[in-house]
Chains A and B, each alone.
Chain A
Amino acid sequence: MFEARLAQGALLKKVVEAIKDLIEDANFDCNSSGFSLQAMDSSHVSLVALSLRADGFEHYRCDRNVSMGMKLASLSKILKCANGDDAITMKSEDNGDTITFMFESPEQERLSEFDLKLMDIDSEHLGIPDNEYDATVKLPAAEFQRIVKDLSTIGDTVEISVTKDAVKFGTTGDIGNANIMCRQNKAADKPDESTEIDINEAVSLTFALRYLNSFAKATPLSTHAVLKLSKELPILVEYHIPEVGRLAFYLAPKIED
């Protein structure tokens, strides 16, 4: 059987809220090392990769590898019934056709159980190469969210250019154009506000803003978003979930035909 208890149930709520508009349904894969998901959006332009480590759970048991297909909209409906401070336990019997979500309030005076029907989902599993990236930018997650939101009001795509000291986000649209530059800033007294750039080579790539806006829904999970870029490769946008794992998004670049 599979059984996993997350004391900070809010994390699971936030993860599902971050991905439910991007992917319709997905297989959640559980094995002894943890709980993970890999899924492409419906237009196959981006990829979501979630991994929650077994040791990030308060209790974790997985007797055999299971893949549980769920509709994200349904999962979201159920998780919305959990309070932000509830602990969430997921349970499923081997070969079962449902997964049970149990919500416990902090004082354990309220206990609720919701069963979600599992579904068979055919999904293509992609092999993500372990790339060395040309540039890595770690910036406050809220800042990244604001940048992609603001630029979306002007254009549809963003050119992200990283140099040694700064990262520049630029867009062009019918009404004009916009550029936002963030300088490296390793403020030791305010680590949550730091912007750090690690670069092997200057890089400049163009991406559809619609997807980056969708990725930014993961903002509540982490203080920082980490962007990893290499010439003519998908961007990796990572949100580290402290002590538990990470939620990562890959987006194919726009490339001149």
Chain B
Amino acid sequence: GSGQRSIASFFGAG
């Protein structure tokens, strides 16, 4: 199946 990742897992805390 396809999983939904969180946006934070792509963009680190800045």
Interface residues, chain A, CB within 8 Å of chain B? 40, 43-47, 124-129, 157, 206, 208, 233-234, 250-257
Contact = CB atoms under 8 A, between A and B. Distances in A.
Residue among B6, B7, B12, B14 with the most chain A CB within 10 A? B7
Contacts of A47: 7, 11
B14 A126 contact: yes
Contact of A45 (B6, B13, B14): B6
Given A126-B12, A126-B14, A252 B1 contact: no
Contacts of A251: 7
A254 B7 contact: no
B13 A252 contact: no
Contact of B2 (A46, A126, A234, A256): A256
Contact of A250 (B1, B2, B11): B11
A234 B13 CA distance: 16
Given A40-B7, A251-B7, A157 B12 contact: no
18 contacts: A40-B8, A44-B6, A45-B5, A45-B7, A47-B11, A124-B8, A125-B13, A126-B12, A126-B13, A127-B13, A128-B14, A129-B11, A157-B2, A250-B11, A252-B4, A254-B3, A256-B1, A256-B2
Contacts of B9: 252
A43 B4 CA distance: 10
Given A125-B13, A128-B14, A256 B7 contact: no
Contact of A257 (B2, B12, B13, B14): B2
Given A129-B11, A252-B4, A255-B2, 17 more contacts: A43-B6, A45-B5, A124-B8, A125-B14, A126-B7, A126-B8, A126-B11, A127-B12, A128-B14, A208-B4, A234-B7, A250-B7, A250-B10, A252-B5, A254-B3, A254-B4, A255-B5
